[in-house]
Chains A and B, each alone.
Chain A
């Protein structure tokens, strides 16, 4: 029987098996950040041990950093202390840190790929559930808790139970105006917020193959939103081309050798998945969420469904929506473009392309937060910052920002925010904030119109 892409990588990383079915998995790269690492470093200190492989550990500050005036000391005391703690821990343990002020600083899942740290065939973990993003390169990448961060720091290994395998195929051609964010919101709306629990997902099919690396990252990023530990896409020429020449990519002959290995990373024809789904690409439209988990999504042409049950009603009450309503025409006061889902240069280009020569509606607050210093620099180089400024958008410095509302970038109570981030949980963007997840194109259109529109008529005219 053939092997799946997942099996090939997993099996190559098993150090040993433990009685009862757990396995010791070797980890190739470990990303850490300020929020989920301090307690892990304290644990190492208590045990009197160091970091096992500093050459495989990379740190950045992203979750809890301001997105304005990053050159000044952080105003808020607890945040300043937490970021400072990361600096101290990295110094003490010898871990490379791309902290505030560093030209490589940024959201951990944006900087890994753009620096060429993320490569096909690797096992990658981070104390953050969206580590699944890196799966776009054909890696096994998943989020872990702080106790596990400590395990990996201490031993470069993790005790894991091998998950089940699922394949999701998207076949055919995407409609105009449909982005990869819509594909993943569509999939989650079909499978629910728990439909992938216990599984590792491989995305395949002609529509997936047609996507850029950045668009693939958006899809893998949100695998966790259906409960899956991670998602992955088999590497291909686009992947190799993307990695080539990046700072930490292998060079010259080493690169050729690496590519020869990477070309073996695909699911064999006779590989068996525990579950498999196929959806036609033509069925996907620009998507919106109407509720308080990412599975509560509809196509722009649909109306909010009706479901029995306390949890569903609680969710609609929180959002201030009713079953049977259309989302079209809903006035929106906040738009957030950013997060590890949609803050890469390609996302900012899509937004800039749409808003060029336009101005935002007066009542809308629009934040554009690049995923990294490098994205910010590139955007400025291409003049995107000027397009944003002319449109009245607030182009800020890199960080997680309003994705999780840990710093001061929050959405006020009761306000709707059309957001390119990945979670619409109650209060995610600030206490009482109402998040509507959407693609960067939908976010851009909402910013200009001040309400939710079906922008497809506009783009087909272009």
Chain B
């Protein structure tokens, strides 16, 4: 996993609520057996017509918006457990997703793939959308160490929460398996006293 420290970038706005994993990556693109290449089909049916030509109204097809940060409406990532959704977002080039609310499984999947989900309140989310609307080049700073998200133009900054263990993993590029393998003896000891099913 990549190491995550700070991100300094403009952002792509998607003020839609309940963006589900079937929109992020439709099921028909889940046939791959590797983790690569999902970015091409990120938001496939919102992004492309059925003949594969781009839909001009969709934000990812609008050249004025770019950056490593995706800002979305509440309940982002609801629906399926497919980690392909996180892979697609990562593969496309996003490192941070900002919303007022994330679905649980998506949030876990994002963290396991070096993507930082940043939860801000509704009010601040709207401020971010407004800032991008006023100036698509608005830059933001995400500092994982300090746990702050800042709109650079106005200097307005909020702090966000993250589990300390997950923060340590992101900063060092560790994953959970490294840790679990390191306590294998403890797991075996636990297994011994388990009820037999």
**When the two chains form their complex, are residues B109 and A147 in contact, meaning their CB atoms are under 8 A apart?**
yes
Q: How many chain B residues touch A (Cβ–Cβ < 8 Å)?
A: 56
- Check A145/B194 contact, CB under 8 A, given A151-B180, A406-B28: no
B86 interface residue (CB < 8 Å to A): yes
Question: A413 CA to B177 CA in the complex, in Å?
Answer: 42
Question: A426 CA to B164 CA in the complex, in Å?
Answer: 36
**When the two chains form their complex, are residues A154 and B181 in contact, meaning their CB atoms are under 8 A apart?**
yes
Contact of B163 among A22, A36, A193, A427 (CB under 8 A): A22
- Check A147/B22 contact, CB under 8 A, given A82-B33, A154-B180: no
- Check A26/B73 contact, CB under 8 A, given A19-B165, A197-B104, A425-B22: no
Instruction: Pick the interface stretch among A122-130, A165-173, A328-336, A385-393.
Output: A122-130
**When the two chains form their complex, are residues A193 and B78 in contact, meaning their CB atoms are under 8 A apart?**
yes
**When the two chains form their complex, are residues A310 and B33 in contact, meaning their CB atoms are under 8 A apart?**
no
Question: A426 CA to B79 CA in the complex, in Å?
Answer: 12
Instruction: Pick the interface stretch among B61-69, B136-144, B150-158, B182-190.
Output: B182-190
B23 interface residue (CB < 8 Å to A): yes
- Interface of B toward A, CB cutoff 8 Å: 15-18, 20, 22-23, 26-28, 30-35, 45, 50, 73-75, 78-84, 86, 101, 103-105, 108-109, 112-113, 163-166, 175-177, 179-181, 183-184, 186-187, 190-191, 194-195, 197
- Interface of A toward B, CB cutoff 8 Å: 12, 15-16, 18-22, 24, 26, 28, 35-36, 38-39, 42-43, 47, 49, 63-64, 78-79, 81-82, 85, 119, 121-122, 127-129, 131, 143-148, 150-151, 154-159, 161, 163, 193-194, 197-198, 224, 227, 229, 250, 258, 261, 293, 309-311, 314, 404-406, 413, 423, 425-428, 431-432
What are 29 A-B residue pairs whose CB atoms fall within 8 Å in the complex? A12-B195, A35-B82, A39-B35, A43-B177, A64-B31, A82-B31, A121-B195, A127-B83, A143-B80, A144-B81, A147-B175, A155-B187, A158-B176, A193-B18, A194-B18, A194-B75, A194-B101, A194-B103, A227-B75, A227-B78, A314-B16, A406-B31, A413-B50, A423-B22, A423-B79, A425-B23, A426-B23, A427-B22, A428-B22
